[in-house]
Amino acid sequence: MTIGKNTQLLLEVKDLRAVLPTRRGMVKAVDNVSFRLHPGKTLGIVGESGCGKSMLARTIMGLLPARSIVPSESTVNFKGQNLVSMKKARLRQIIGREIAMIFQDPMTSLNPVMKIGKQISEVIRYHLKVSRRTAHKRTVALLDLVGIPMAKQRANQYPHQLSGGLRQRVAIAIALACEPKLLIADEPTTALDVTVQAAILDLLASLQEEQQMAMILITHDLGVVAGRTDETAVMYAGKIVEHAATNELFNDMRMPYTHALMAAIPRLANPPHTRLKTINGQPPNMVELPPGCRFASRCWKAQPLCLENEPALKRINGRRHRLACWYPLNSRKSA
Amino acid sequence: MLVSIEQQEKRLKNGKLLTVNDLTVEFRIGRRRKMEAVTGVSLDIGIGETLGLVGESGCGKSTIARSIVGLQKPTTGEILFAGQDLSQCTNQQMKKIRPQIQMIFQDSVASLNPGRKIGKTIEEPLRVLGLANRRERERRANELMQAVSLDPEQMYSRYPYEFSGGQCQRVSLARALILNPRLLICDEPVSALDVSVQAQILNLLETIKQQFHLTMLFISHDLAVVKNISDRVAVMYLGNICEIASAEDLYRSPRHPYSALLLESIPEPDPERKQQKRDAINGEMPSPVEPPPGCRFHTRCPNVQNVCREFEPKLVGFDNEGKVACHFPL
């Protein structure tokens, strides 16, 4: 997992902010998020609902709701081009072709009145400007690639004729149609059953390996991230609060929120009727954020400093482990 | 009224609060076609026990729950509550039994009336049954709001839209408990919640269970959640029960290949487990409209033999009350 200095960066997100207008006021859905992604690597983004993980993906893709504001200091650098300041027409050449996205609910992301084959070939024809026949051939090959049996016949079916797992496979086929360099998967398996979830995650992993594609995997489930990502970032109230290589994060979590989130998960290893650890209180109101650390009101280690000043996301011990906390938990590694 | 039921329970020889015998539920689809959502399911729940029911979507878990509370009429089979066959009961008898079986649902926000103050929602069962006057109802509602950790002073006059999903689930729970039920059915009560809230609700359910001496049927697709709360677990597949065992036994050594498959598929938050290569999963659950002949799992089973394609295995006991429906159990 060591990355040589001369490996080219694929994506560099720097000081990314997104402010959304809502009825209750302006919401800083994404606040000062920075990270880098190398080709072929996977970044997991974990957080509870409302923490801004989906908005982060949408900001990168330029898919924010109307009248949202992304300040001009924010940069999303994809292969040397800044997506934030880019013209819409130019962006459309990149989105769908070099950066693709899959969503949680395949039923709503597919067109219910269009045959699935058509939905895939539409993307191919738009971006690659090939003939109908070539596009159709590629469509069938893609359906085959994502593990849909009887691909030729399936191409003539409508989304409602497919099961949830197959629909998600179609959505993946659309995303992969132009061999993107970056795939953003926003809760790709949340609506699916566990056995199907495992199959879809396996499929994504093998496709990623084959095509040397980078991936951002957004999920609320720490279990999905473990074992399937190179790095993991934990988000809370619009910010990244901890970010490290996945193994490092799970073995040595330092931010109290990450720790609490992990402790709240029912584990198979525990005997029945084990009391779960809970996090007191609720996430802060995103319209009126507290001045200090956003987790402070729920944190058992909070001190007066935490309520007043917001900790910055900093590297610790010179390692690739970033943390936003004034009083991090003791490292399990240091003696 | 409640006393007599408790006495009746003591007289029950086997100590089972609920017994479901050979339950089949059919739905009509189209003019002539029918599908069986639940086929010949038998299970029982002892007094004070929590039975977990797991399976993938469409396997019939919710249909069983709905049949028990009477939201769905069984096609054949019997449901015995405290020894009484519910289908044989008169309306008068049902009026006494229904309050004792209560249910909470997955979508807690949708199961509350958006135009009604939550205090009123909680006390409604008492009003409908005419069991208490207004002041008594308010007192009981306050009591139950405290039991589920909602502050009655602040929350009584609020509306559901002001509440989070977890709080709405607490309200549903208070409403279910106000009639002092014996059996609480939880249909995916935490599936729509975030992990931190999920943990709060699961802990609350355990506390409430002790406090109110409840027996529970807990339905979920999440095996880790089910293990955490259940004494015994039943695994369902395509309308059948394929395995019932104590929670410990089932998770330590599953006997049915489908239980094993489910267990392997759980994403555990532990990166060390990465290397473990799982067997290729053969396809997806077939449509319940045309279930495969023989063992219903044979289309996906890694150990399938010719017998499995022709004959349906029966649910047979192996040890410690564990039962499995498989020709070649693991």
Cβ–Cβ gap B228/A274 under 8 Å: yes
What six digits make up the tokens of B318? 């192996």
- State the Cα torsion B124-B128-B134-B140 to the nearest 10°: -50
| Cβ neighbours of A124 (radius 10 Å) | 21
Q: What percent of chain B has pLDDT over 70?
A: 92
Gap between the Cα atoms of A177 and A171, Å rounded? 10
Cβ–Cβ gap B228/A260 under 8 Å: no
**Taking CB atoms and an 8 Å cut-off, how many pairs form between chains A and B?**
129
The b/e string for A233-247 (b: 16+ C-beta within 10 A; e otherwise) is: bbbbbbbbbbbbbbb
DSSP string for residues in B283-311: S-PPPTTSPPSSSTTTTT-TT--HHHHHS
DSSP structural state of residue B238: T
Select the residue from B208, B209, B222, B270 to test the A interface by mutation, using most A Cβ atoms within 10 A.
B270
Tell me the chain B residues in contact with residue A165 when contact means C-beta distances shorter than 8 Å.
284
Question: Which of B56, B57, B273 is the closest to A227 by Cβ?
Answer: B273
Alpha helices in chain A (DSSP H): 53-61, 88-94, 106-109, 116-128, 132-145, 151-154, 164-176, 194-211, 222-225, 246-251, 256-263, 304-308
- Does A23 contact chain B (CB < 8 Å)? no
Q: What is the pLDDT of residue B288?
A: 80
Question: Measured between alpha carbons, how far apart are the two ends of chain B, in Å?
Answer: 48
Q: Searching chain A, which residue's CA lies closest to the CA of residue B282?
A: A199
How many Cα atoms within 13 Å fall on the side-chain side of residue B75? 14
The contacts found for A292-298 with CB under 8 angstroms, 24 or more apart, are A293/A324, A293/A325, A293/A326, A294/A236, A294/A237, A294/A238, A294/A239, A295/A236, A295/A237, A295/A241, A295/A256, A295/A257, A298/A257, A298/A260
Could you tell me the domains of chain B?
A: 2-237 (3.40.50.300)
Gap between the Cα atoms of A237 and A53, Å rounded? 9
Tell me the chain B residues in contact with residue A227 when contact means C-beta distances shorter than 8 Å.
267, 270-271, 273-274
| Closest by Cα among B32, B33, B37 to B75 | B37
Where do the DSSP E strands lie in chain B? 16-28, 34-46, 50-54, 76-81, 84-85, 101-104, 183-187, 215-220, 232-237, 240-246, 316-317, 323-324
DSSP structural state of residue A239: E
Q: What is the pLDDT of residue B275?
A: 42
Cβ–Cβ gap A266/B227 under 8 Å: yes
Distance of alpha carbon B214 from the chain centroid:
13
Question: Which of A163, A194, A270 is the closest to B265 by Cβ?
Answer: A194
Report strand pairing: A99-102 vs A81-82. unpaired
Q: What is the mean pLDDT of chain B?
A: 87
Distance of alpha carbon B195 from the chain centroid:
20
What's the pLDDT tens digit per position in B7-27?
555 555 568 899 999 999 999
Q: Searching chain B, which residue's CA lies closest to the CA of residue A259?
A: B196
Name residues of chain A where pLDDT drops below 50: 1-6, 335
DSSP string for residues in B9-37: HHH-SS-EEEEEEEEEEEEE-SSS-EEEE
Tell me the chain A residues in contact with residue B267 when contact means C-beta distances shorter than 8 Å.
197-198, 201, 221, 223-224, 226-228
| Cβ neighbours of A284 (radius 10 Å) | 18
Number of alpha helices (DSSP H) and beta strands (DSSP E) in chain B: 12, 12
User: How far is the alpha carbon of B251 from chain A, nearest alpha carbon, in Å?
Assistant: 8
Cβ–Cβ gap B223/A227 under 8 Å: no
- Does A4 contact chain B (CB < 8 Å)? no
What's the pLDDT tens digit per position in B82-112?
888 988 888 888 888 999 999 999 888 889 9
Gap between the Cα atoms of B210 and A207, Å rounded? 49
Cβ–Cβ gap B196/A279 under 8 Å: yes
Q: Searching chain B, which residue's CA lies closest to the CA of residue A232?
A: B271
Q: Order of strands across the sheet with B84-85? A: B34-46, B16-28, B76-81, B84-85
Report strand pairing: B50-54 vs B76-81. unpaired
Q: Searching chain B, which residue's CA lies closest to the CA of residue A199?
A: B281
Tell me the chain B residues in contact with residue A299 when contact means C-beta distances shorter than 8 Å.
none
| Closest by Cα among A110, A129, A112, A131 to A120 | A110
Please provide residue A173's backbone torsions phi and psi, each rounded to the nearest 5 degrees.
-60, -40
Select the residue from B61, B196, B250, B272 to test the A interface by mutation, using most A Cβ atoms within 10 A.
B196
Number of alpha helices (DSSP H) and beta strands (DSSP E) in chain A: 12, 12
Select the residue from A105, A250, A273 to test the B interface by mutation, using most B Cβ atoms within 10 A.
A273
What's the pLDDT tens digit per position in A68-91?
899 989 999 999 899 998 888 999
What type of residue sits at position A324? Answer: A
- Does A318 contact chain B (CB < 8 Å)? no
User: How far is the alpha carbon of A270 from chain B, nearest alpha carbon, in Å?
Assistant: 7
What six digits make up the tokens of B49? 């026990």
Q: How much is the average pLDDT of B39-63? A: 91
List, as ranges, residues 259-298 from A with C-beta within 8 Å of B.
Answer: 260-262, 264-268, 270-279, 282
Q: What is the pLDDT of residue A2?
A: 46
The model's confidence at residue B32, banded by pLDDT at 50, 70 and 90, is confident
Q: What is the pLDDT of residue B148?
A: 92
- ipTM metric: 0.81
List, as ranges, residues 239-258 from B with C-beta within 8 Å of A.
Answer: 247-248, 251
- Does B301 contact chain A (CB < 8 Å)? no
Which residue shows structure tokens 């555990």?
B268
What's the pLDDT tens digit per position in B57-72?
888 899 999 999 988 8
| Residue A187 zone, left/alpha/beta (φ > 0; ψ -120 to 50; rest) | left
Q: Searching chain A, which residue's CA lies closest to the CA of residue B281?
A: A199
Helix, strand, or coil here: B175? helix
Cβ–Cβ gap A194/B227 under 8 Å: no
Checking if the pLDDT of B215 tops 90, the result is yes
Tell me the chain A residues in contact with residue B281 when contact means C-beta distances shorter than 8 Å.
195, 198-199
Cβ–Cβ gap B56/A193 under 8 Å: yes
| Closest by Cα among A31, A81, A250 to A182 | A81
E strand or H helix at A44: strand A42-46
Please provide residue A97's backbone torsions phi and psi, each rounded to the nearest 5 degrees.
-100, -55
Q: What is the pLDDT of residue B7?
A: 56
Q: Residue B45's beta-bridge partner residues? A: B18
| Closest by Cα among B167, B188, B173 to B122 | B173
Report strand pairing: A322-323 vs B16-28. unpaired
Q: What percent of chain B has pLDDT over 90?
A: 49
Gap between the Cα atoms of A217 and B311, Å rounded? 43
Alpha helices in A35-115 (DSSP H): 53-61, 88-94, 106-109
DSSP structural state of residue B74: -
A70, A312, B134 from A240: Cα distances, Å: 17, 10, 50
List, as ranges, residues 160-189 from B with C-beta within 8 Å of A.
Answer: 164
Q: Report whether A166 contacts A106 (CB < 8 A).
A: no
User: How far is the alpha carbon of A220 from chain B, nearest alpha carbon, in Å?
Assistant: 8
List all residues 6 or more positions away from A93 whose beta carbon is below 8 Å from its beta carbon: A127
Q: Searching chain A, which residue's CA lies closest to the CA of residue B163?
A: A282
B4, B256, B279, B307 from B303: Cα distances, Å: 51, 10, 12, 11
The b/e string for A61-91 (b: 16+ C-beta within 10 A; e otherwise) is: bbebeeebebeeebbbbbbeeebbebeeeeb
Checking if the pLDDT of B270 tops 90, the result is no
Gap between the Cα atoms of A22 and A67, Å rounded? 10
